């Protein structure tokens, strides 16, 4: 069983995460609605990370082949994508990196998620038999993809299952310079998702590439 499947891993965020995991020596499977696109993305990973164990499959096959699944779809249309995959994801650790952003006049806003107060809560509601953990929502794709630079910053990790959060935190610890911060209950996904809108707006205002760091935690 491969370590990680990254569904929607042909997009900027999923590919960035797949690159970082592969660079840390984790086997990765890229998932796509179209297997050919997934195979192309896996080839990109092998080209950028010599010796990477990376392959590409359609999303359902990728879900079956791994125990730890990252969901990296656009937030719109998510419910349809999850419906088809729910049986494959039952019993698995599911890492949700998604943020429901919309842009109005150059400003990012969090949009309402139909049926739940956050994407994280929607995913857990739709996948009741999966252990859902939100993570990497505040880490920009550009930073993840730029393997020449360490991806500095904190990764807020929230979800209902403490052992699942710990499993994700252990994976974060394998990525140089990123630190996992246990953010407790899944309901905190509401605020974690909001922070991403702020970071996007800061990036525009300051022509920057921001991420977050939490101070004041016990060592």
Q: Which positions touch ligand NAP (CB under 6 A)?
A: 8, 10-14, 32-34, 37, 72-75, 77, 81, 97-99, 101, 137, 140-141, 196
> Which residue is closest to ligand NAP by CB?
11
**Cβ(32)–Cβ(15) under 8 Å?**
no
Return the number of the residue (142 or 160) whose C-beta is nearest ligand NAP. Answer: 142
Return the number of the residue (52 or 197) whose C-beta is nearest ligand NAP. Answer: 197
Min dist CB 77 to ligand NAP, Å, is 3
Return the number of the residue (37 or 46) whose C-beta is nearest ligand NAP. Answer: 37
Q: Which of 77, 92, 67 is nearest to 5 (CA)?
A: 67
**Cβ(113)–Cβ(96) under 8 Å?**
no
d(CA 205, CA 197): 12
Indicate the pairing of strand 153-159 with strand 131-134.
antiparallel
Min dist CB 175 to ligand NAP, Å, is 15
Min dist CB 182 to ligand NAP, Å, is 19
d(CA 92, CA 127): 10
d(CA 146, CA 46): 15
Min dist CB 140 to ligand NAP, Å, is 4
């Amino acid at each position: 069983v491969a370590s990680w499947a990254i569904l929607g891993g042909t997009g900027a965020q999923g590919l960035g995460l797949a690159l970082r995991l592969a660079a840390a020596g984790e086997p990765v499977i890229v998932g796509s609605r179209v297997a050919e696109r997934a195979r192309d993305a896996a080839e990109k990973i092998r080209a950028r990370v010599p010796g990477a164990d990376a392959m590409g499959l359609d999303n359902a096959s990728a879900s079956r082949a791994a125990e730890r699944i990252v969901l990296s779809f656009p937030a719109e249309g998510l419910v349809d994508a999850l419906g088809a995959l729910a049986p494959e994801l039952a019993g698995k650790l599911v890492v949700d990196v998604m943020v429901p952003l919309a842009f109005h006049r150059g400003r990012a806003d969090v949009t309402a998620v139909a049926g739940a107060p956050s994407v994280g809560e929607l995913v857990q509601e739709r996948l009741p038999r999966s252990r859902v953990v939100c993570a990497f929502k505040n880490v920009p794709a550009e930073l993840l993809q730029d393997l020449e630079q360490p991806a500095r910053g904190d990764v807020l990790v929230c979800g209902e299952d403490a052992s699942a959060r710990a499993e994700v935190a252990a994976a974060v610890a394998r990525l140089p310079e990123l630190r996992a911060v246990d953010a407790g209950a899944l309901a905190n996904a509401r605020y974690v998702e909001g922070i991403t809108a702020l970071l996007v707006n800061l990036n525009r205002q300051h022509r920057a590439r921001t991420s977050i760091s939490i101070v004041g935690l016990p060592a």
